[in-house]
Amino acid sequence: MREAQPVEQAVGMEYYVSEPDGVGGHLRESPADFRVEELEAFDPEPVDADPGSYPHVLLRATLRGWDTNDFASALSDKLEISRERVSWAGTKDKHAVTTQLFSVKSADPDAVADVALSDADVSVLGRTGRPILFGDLAGNAFEVVVRDPTSPDNAEPITADLRAFGGEDPDDQQATVAVPNYFGQQRFGSKRPVTHEVGLEIVRGNWEDAVLAYVGSPSEREPEETQAARAYAEETRDWQGTLDELPGWLRYERSMCHQLAENGGEEPEDFRDALERLPTNLQQLFVNAAQSYVFNRILSERLERGLPFDRPVAGDVVCFADRDAPEEFPLPDTDRLQRVDEGRVDTVARHCERGRAFVTAPLVGTETDLGDGEPGAIEREVLAEMGLEPAAFDLPEEFHSTGTRRAIMVRTALTVDRDPLTFSFQLPKGSYATVLMREFLKTDPEALG
């Protein structure tokens, strides 16, 4: 175990679990260097099925350099329909080649198949009775190329450490690797990781500080004019002046400042109103990022105390495998939870070893039950350090969260090829490829894309 990069520590990822130096290099020199293919969990009816019973057309799209939202908008424009009729299973990164599922409500399958968009290949799979929804996938398969590695031979000892972390024999060439199931840097903002800071202030009821964390908080990774505008906001609280200073492309910050300039920006309600001017998914993201930060901190504290990740200790809460998941790809079902007392540690450990159970930590919300024993003590201490408790997430409207739990470790079979240095692996939905790749590169997260 070694200390992580400072920008990673700022979002709760305080350690690497592998000791060797990284291979160096960088990712995403081109979209083809980062390939993602959804592991599908959605079975359609034939395309000639009754459109009255199955009104949604399911399609698979392979996209090169497309943001998922932008593709959905372009697809709806081509079909001359509302953007709201297009749905998808998972949001993917723009700087990649991605293969993913979409559904289109009340569309002509032939028209969908004939859609011509640059750097997009579309094939119709059939019809469904409901739209595909976010999370309607088992996971993702990745093929990631590292360009310009400085020490490619380090991949082998790093792999051995990651096998040992997952409880595998580090010398077994067929074994899987494992990493802490951290939320990756993208969750918080790669260049300016502040979404969790905004969320933490919202949960604490500090609406003005939440606005300042988003509109202010200049980062040296930003253009100088942007840094200056953010610094002006922090120093003056002059919202009209800040609106005049902010670049046009910072539309969310500008929207908040416009609202504050109209309302006066004097009362807590003014700042809450400004935050509620943002899209609902962004409002939710702030609180989700705060939960993710707490989760990362809990995992880092568990690492520091030397508690295992591949098996429980007394006081842990585990979840069991999803019965509907593919047999060869076990997934956690966080609706099936069980506390582990001293008498069941060994039994549950065997379930974890076989992929039938997973040790969890909380994504804290109003309905979150914390663990017992030392795991529970870690959870409570991290929350106390931040002045939080589960009841604090009883928030208005989109900011409210009941919470859940999440597996603390993720395993995958890993293949490493040379010339170019290429990593192939599969991860369950919600886990980050960059969390695995950071162990191998051990470089500034900006090199991970």
Write down how long the chain is: 449
Q: Cα 434–437–442 angle (5° rounding)?
A: 110
Cα(110)–Cα(113) distance, integer angstroms: 5
Q: Any idea which residues carry the catalytic annotation?
A: 93
CA 70 to chain CA centroid, nearest Å? 19
Q: Residue 39: is it exposed, middle or buried by C-beta count within 10 angstroms (0-12/13-18/19+)?
A: middle
8 A C-beta contact, residue 121 and residue 407: no
CB burial of 70-91 (b: ≥16 within 10 Å; e: otherwise) equals: ebbebbbeebebeeebbbbbbe
DSSP assignment of 181-247 equals -PPPGGGT-SSS--HHHHHHHHHTT-HHHHHHHHHS---TTS-HHHHHHHHHHHHH--HHHHHHHS-
Element (H, E) at 414: strand 414-417
Residue 108 corresponds to which amino acid? D
Q: Which pair of structure tokens corresponds to residue 368?
A: 């979150």
**How many whole angstroms separate alpha carbon 195 and alpha carbon 82?**
30
Spatial separation of the C-alpha atoms in residues 32 and 397, rounded to whole Å:
41
Residue spans of beta strands (DSSP E) within 213-331: 317-321
